A and B are shown apart, each in its own frame.
Chain A
Amino acid sequence: MTSYAFRRRLSRNFTRFCLAVFVCICLGPVLWAIVTSFLPLSAMTSTPPDLNPLNATLENYVEVFDTSRGLLSGLINSLIIALFTSAIALTLGAMAAYALARLNMPGSTPLLLVILATQMFPAIVIVIPLFLVMSRIDLIDKHIGLIVVYLSFVLPIVIWILKGFFEGIPLELERAAAVDGASPLQVFRHVILPISLPPLFATGVFAFIESWNEFFFAIILTRIHVKTAPIAIAEFSGQYQTLYGQMLASAVLASLPVVVLAIIFRKFILEGFVEGAVKA
């Protein structure tokens, strides 16, 4: 083997080694959590942890559904809220994104800056006044309350992503439709939307994931009835006592939907990153 080929081989093996390390670091913690979630308390708390597969048990998962812990209702609440938030955000956001991209809205630049800015400040700034107002009009611990508040940060992202996409649709397409006799609304419905299904989908999934994972607003603006999954998980980690087994089991259960969604729609999501990098 020539020195060049040898170096190539070396560097390729080195790369493969690095990739292996990378995968371990990335998935390691997650896999560890999953594995230990199937262990009974005794196995988990022995040192070193007793990883005998014969010990595998579902007891953590079963206990997690004990209604006093609220994981089931947490999952349901998260589902309702994430679903409605992403649906509304998609609808209103697509409309607004198209208006900003193509419908010659003056003041679209300041609007855009506002939208950008909303991504970048902490929820704490708006949650305090919102909390006060919502307490007064009895929206605390109601689904609709949380949905509306979630729109505050989901809507801007949706608009930002979709606007970039709509701007990429050739203007001539819309002109051709107008010449054919389509009103602007018809252009939107018959030409723009059908072409945009993939990014619309991807953005919807993205919005769903963001809503599902949200914790801060949830913990402030809900009490008992609308407790979401993240809250349920956090409750397993108490001030004085942490039920690790159940905590991990609930975390796994609550993360499953979003991770699965992300993997299923990975093509769209990853393309979204590409778009984002190009647009930027």
Chain B
Amino acid sequence: MIRAWNNENQFHRRRFRLGVYFMLPTVLILLIVLAYPILASLVLSSQKIIIASDGIRGTFLGFDNYTRLLGNELFQQALFRSIYFTLVEVVCVVSLGLLVALLLDTPSGRHAFFRVVLLVPWALAPVANAVLWKWIYNANYGVLNWIVVGLGFVERNVVWLGRPWLALNMILVADIWKSVPFIALLLLAGLQNIPNYLYRAAKLDGANTWQTFVHVTLPGLKTPLVISCVLQSIWALKVFDLIYVLTKGSPADSTVLLNYLAWRETFSNLDIGYGAAIADVLFLLMFLLALAYIRALRPRKRSANRG
């Protein structure tokens, strides 16, 4: 770096120096607001923190918090539920997103109106989304019960958010509804990147719709699909607003996912060190997923052009 700062060539030297100045504020902020907390979190997770009247005190525990959480049944269930949640959400969101993308790629679907329609769920605040679905899921007055009972699928009002697995899956539905637009738009963009002549060639070769889909569309969508899966799984692990507004973890902690658990341990139960440990486990999970994302991106990098 020193060499670049003192580069002989004026053109390069000047540009490099500007680059350093330009990066400085960002690096500073990110160091303070990201780097420091991440490291501090690791430190905190090795301690038992007590908030006393005269400040914050920590007792060193080593890995105790971690061993505690690994053995803790609530944590294990939350972990299991988070994985379930993530898997189901990714499968549903990506397949539905693909369907919507395909739908919007047809001649009838190309109208800008449909894309705007997609933007509405996307732009909503997660909290607003939660509120929306809370109303729909309401046991007594929610429209879901109205429809379902009215059509005769069930006899009585269902307490959607009152039964353990049911509540978790209803939250899943709410998050899927909100997440599909982004993925659909991403896949739509990927679809439009597939050159037309491939489709024409397939048609000339006599491929029917399904074969065209399998041999032209899907391969062309490989990268966006992978990215969608990885992104969506990372976001699925982050779910919080829905739980907070809809169930707050009930019934019987059956809708407690990892992220929510970490928050509750830290800010409700005030077991800061333990909460930090849970957060770090979650971080590890996501970090591995992020690595997968980067590996998925890597092969497409083009080398610089010269000559």
Contact = CB atoms under 8 A, between A and B. Distances in A.
Check whether chain A touches chain B (CB < 8 angstroms).
yes
Interface of A: 12, 15-16, 18-19, 22-23, 25-27, 29-30, 32-33, 36, 44-45, 47-49, 92-93, 95-96, 98-100, 102-107, 111, 113-114, 116-130, 132-133, 148-149, 151-152, 155-156, 159, 178, 183-185, 188, 209, 212-216, 219-220, 229-231, 233-234, 236-237, 239, 242, 244, 247-248, 250-251, 254-255, 258-259, 261-263, 266, 269-270, 273-274, 276-278, 280
A209 B41 contact: no
Given A48-B150, A96-B22, A216-B240, A128 B283 contact: no
Contact of A22 (B100, B125, B189, B234): B100
Contacts of B132: 29-30, 33, 248, 251
B38 A125 contact: yes
A130 B19 contact: no
Contacts of A92: 25-26, 29
B23 A255 contact: no
B30 A29 contact: no
A98 to B, nearest CB: 6
Contacts of B259: 122, 124
B144 to A, nearest CB: 10
B25 A106 contact: no
B286 A277 contact: no
B33 A130 contact: yes
B120 A30 contact: yes
B135 interface: yes
Contact of B245 (A120, A237, A255): A237
Given A116-B290, A178-B11, A255-B123, A215 B240 contact: yes
A15 B108 contact: yes
Interface string B172-189: 000001000100011111
Contacts of A27: 117, 120
B53 to A, nearest CB: 13
A273 B184 CA distance: 10
B41 A22 contact: no
B20 A120 contact: no
A contact patch SS? helix
A157 to B, nearest CB: 12
B77 interface: no
Interface of B: 1, 4, 11-12, 14-20, 22-23, 25-27, 29-30, 32-34, 36-38, 40-41, 44, 56, 100, 103, 106-109, 112, 114-128, 130-136, 138, 140-141, 143, 146, 150, 177, 181, 185-190, 192-193, 223-224, 227, 234, 237-238, 240-241, 244-245, 248, 259, 262-263, 266-267, 272, 275-276, 278-280, 282-283, 286-287, 289-290, 293-294, 297, 300
Name the residue in B12, B128, B286 with the highest tally of chain A Cβ atoms < 10 Å from its Cβ.
B128
B19 A103 contact: yes
Contacts of B223: 280
Given A99-B18, A273-B186, A128 B125 contact: no
B258 to A, nearest CB: 8
Contact of B287 (A36, A93, A117): A117
Most chain B CB atoms below 10 A, which of A122, A236, A274: A122
Contact of B120 (A16, A183, A259): A259
Contacts, number: 297
B193 A215 contact: no
A103 B135 contact: no
B181 A45 contact: no
Contact of A213 (B100, B124, B287): B124
Given A103-B19, A255-B124, 11 more contacts: A26-B118, A48-B146, A102-B19, A113-B294, A125-B279, A126-B41, A152-B34, A233-B128, A234-B245, A239-B248, A273-B189
Nearest to A265: B119
Residue among A12, A22, A148, A231 with the most chain B CB within 10 A?
A22
A36 B135 contact: yes
A254 B38 contact: no
B33 A148 contact: yes
Contacts of B126: 213, 215, 230
7 nearest A-B pairs in the assembled complex, by CB-CB distance: A103-B19, A129-B40, A126-B37, A213-B125, A277-B189, A262-B123, A95-B22
Contact of A129 (B41, B186, B240, B297): B41
A15 B109 contact: yes
Contacts of B18: 99, 103, 184-185, 188
Given A104-B15, A128-B272, A277-B189, A26 B181 contact: yes
B23 A96 contact: yes
Given A124-B263, A126-B33, A273-B185, A100 B125 contact: no
Contacts of A274: 189, 192
A208 B12 CA distance: 35
Contacts of A124: 240, 259, 262-263, 266, 275, 278-279, 282
